[in-house]
């Protein structure tokens, strides 16, 4: 809900949300895809599903006329559920797909792996998604209040963008620019620059794009740019530690400029490749922080290519039918929400 609020649905820019509840049904070989109508009573799903359904419709009510909600439930196993995700993204022409991280932080700071299959699912989606993908690493505890809701506090929340260079970082920059429309949200872009590379073509290209976004948000006075010049990755890591607790949310690209020497050597220490080098660093237990992290990957393939390569090759007998909820079926489930 925090990200939806931060995305700032408005008269000029509506938000259409496709909420995807993943229900793992162990032992079922043929998946089911369920669509929920706005006033459905989810009699055959868990209390958690009902709470999710209610939360999304409450968001739509609060942004009436500007936000629209569609809710699906996919009953499947996590080995093939990525097909459902990419199919819906293609059919609905989604621009962004937000995935959950497979780890959860407890009140005492310890980390619990909720479901390793979520990690494998995320890796598959990143490879085949027909749209931009985000992975949300929520390091806050369950009882933490909502970050961006104007109903809770009039004080501004702070979003940081860690920018090294490349297409994914530019995508992160574009998303943060949209967030600047929110009256209770400030954005700071922290650009990590390698000393002595001022004249590189890629750096000049990135600088031009950043200048365009800075000019676009000049009147709002909620978009700030900070440059950090450093010699190597060690200095960059120390700088990240300095900045991380300045923000409520950090947005970072999954992959970065191939020219940057600031990242050399870090890839061999990566535990979660789906997060990229910086995302993995920010999700590490070595960083004692409660800042939420959003990892961004720009769209890799065209929707038509996914449709040709994936959908048409699926077996015809596969029971992938769109049903009207509720389904009269007794199942043992594990659930995760995907927006």
Separation of alpha carbons 184 and 178, rounded Å:
13
Predicted local confidence at residue 34, as pLDDT: 80
Do you find a cis peptide bond into 326, omega within 30 degrees of 0? yes
- pLDDT in the model for residue 318: 29
Note the pLDDT tens digit of each residue in 268-281.
778 899 999 999 99
pLDDT (tens digit, 9 = 90+) per residue, 176-233?
999 988 888 999 999 999 888 776 788 889 999 999 998 888 887 889 999 999 999 9
Is 20 in a helix, a strand, or coil? strand
Highest mean pLDDT among 39-53, 111-125, 234-248, 254-268: 234-248
Give dist(CA 283, CA 109) in Å, integer: 12
Work out whether strand 111-113 and strand 103-105 pair parallel, antiparallel, or are unpaired.
Answer: antiparallel
Question: What pLDDT score was predicted for residue 29?
Answer: 63
Helix count and strand count (H, E) for the chain:
9, 14
All structural domains of the chain, each given as residue ranges with its CATH number in brackets, are: 2-131+300-338 (no CATH), 157-297 (3.40.50.620)
> Residue 16, Cα to own-chain centre: how many angstroms?
15
Out of 103-112, 226-235, 251-260, give the one with best mean pLDDT.
226-235
- Give the CA distances from residue 84 to residues 32, 88, 247, 291, in Å, rounded to whole numbers and listed in that order: 9, 6, 34, 31
Tokens of 135: 């992975």
Q: Measuring CA to CA, how many Å separate 207 from each of 150, 210, 256? A: 33, 5, 15
Sign of the CA dihedral with 135 first, then 139, 142, and 143 last? negative
> Region 22-35: what's the mean pLDDT?
74
Q: 92-101, 142-151, 176-185, 283-292: which has the minimum mean pLDDT? A: 142-151
In this prediction, residue 28 carries a pLDDT of 58
Q: Residue 30: count other Cβ atoms within 10 Å of its Cβ.
A: 14
Residue 72 phi, psi (nearest 5) = -125, 150
Helix, strand, or coil (residue 162): strand
- 229 forms beta bridges with 193
Q: How far apart are the first and last CA of the chain?
A: 10
So what's the pLDDT on residue 127? 94
Q: What is the mean pLDDT of residues 99-112?
A: 81
Distance CA 29, CA 155 (A): 50
Count CB-CB contacts under 10 A for residue 48: 13
Q: How confident is the model at residue 152 (pLDDT cuts 50, 70, 90)?
A: very low
Q: Rounded to an integer, what distance in angstroms lies between the CA atom of residue 296 and that of residue 254?
A: 6
Residue 19's H or E segment, with its range, is strand 15-24
Residue 333: is its pLDDT beyond 50? no
Q: What is the pLDDT of residue 255?
A: 94
Quote the CA–CA distance of 226 and 228 in Å, as a whole number: 7
pLDDT for residue 12: 82
Helix ranges restricted to H, 134-231? 167-179, 201-216
Statement: residue 72 has pLDDT above 90:
no
Which residue would you say has higher pLDDT here, 290 or 44? 290
Predicted local confidence at residue 40, as pLDDT:
56
Average pLDDT over residues 76-88: 85
Predicted pLDDT of residue 217: 87
The CA distance from 164 to 263, in Å, is: 9
Average pLDDT (153-159) is 76
Contacts of 3 (CB under 8 A, 6+ apart): 98, 136, 294, 339
> Is the sign of the CA dihedral 331, 333, 335, 339 positive or negative?
negative
Which tokens belong to 265?
């050597």
Give the span between the Cα atoms of 130 and 117, in whole angstroms: 21
More confident site: 94 or 288: 94
**pLDDT category of residue 47 using cuts at 50, 70 and 90:** low
């Amino acid at each position: 809900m925090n990200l939806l609020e931060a995305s700032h649905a408005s008269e000029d820019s509506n938000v259409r949300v496709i909420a995807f509840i993943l229900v793992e049904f162990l032992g079922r070989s043929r998946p089911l895809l369920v669509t929920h109508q706005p006033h459905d009573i989810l009699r055959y799903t868990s209390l958690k599903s009902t709470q999710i359904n209610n939360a999304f419709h409450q968001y739509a009510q609060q942004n009436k006329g500007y936000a629209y909600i569609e809710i699906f439930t996919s009953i499947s196993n996590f080995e093939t559920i990525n097909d459902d995700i990419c199919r819906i993204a293609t059919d609905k022409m989604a621009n962004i797909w937000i995935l959950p991280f497979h780890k959860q932080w407890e009140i005492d700071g310890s980390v619990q792996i909720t479901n390793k299959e979520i990690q494998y699912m995320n890796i598959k989606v990143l490879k085949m998604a027909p749209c931009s993908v985000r992975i949300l690493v929520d390091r806050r505890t369950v009882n933490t209040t909502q970050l961006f809701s104007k109903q809770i506090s009039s004080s501004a929340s702070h979003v940081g963008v860690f920018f090294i260079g490349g297409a994914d970082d530019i995508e992160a920059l574009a998303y943060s620019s949209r967030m600047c429309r929110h009256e209770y949200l400030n954005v700071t872009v922290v650009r990590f620059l390698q000393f002595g590379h001022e004249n590189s073509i890629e750096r000049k290209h990135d600088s031009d794009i950043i200048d365009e976004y800075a000019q676009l948000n000049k009147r709002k006075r909620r978009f700030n740019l900070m440059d950090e010049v450093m010699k190597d990755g060690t200095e960059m890591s120390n700088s990240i530690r300095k900045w991380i607790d300045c923000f409520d949310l950090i947005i970072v690209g999954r992959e970065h400029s191939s020219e940057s020497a600031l990242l050399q050597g870090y890839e061999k220490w990566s535990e979660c490749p789906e997060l990229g080098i910086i995302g993995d660093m920010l999700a590490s237990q070595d960083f004692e922080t409660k800042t939420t992290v959003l990892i961004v990957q720009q769209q890799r393939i065209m929707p038509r290519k996914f449709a040709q390569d994936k959908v048409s090759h699926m077996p015809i007998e596969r029971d992938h039918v769109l049903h009207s909820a509720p389904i009269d079926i007794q199942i043992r489930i594990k659930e995760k929400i995907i927006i």
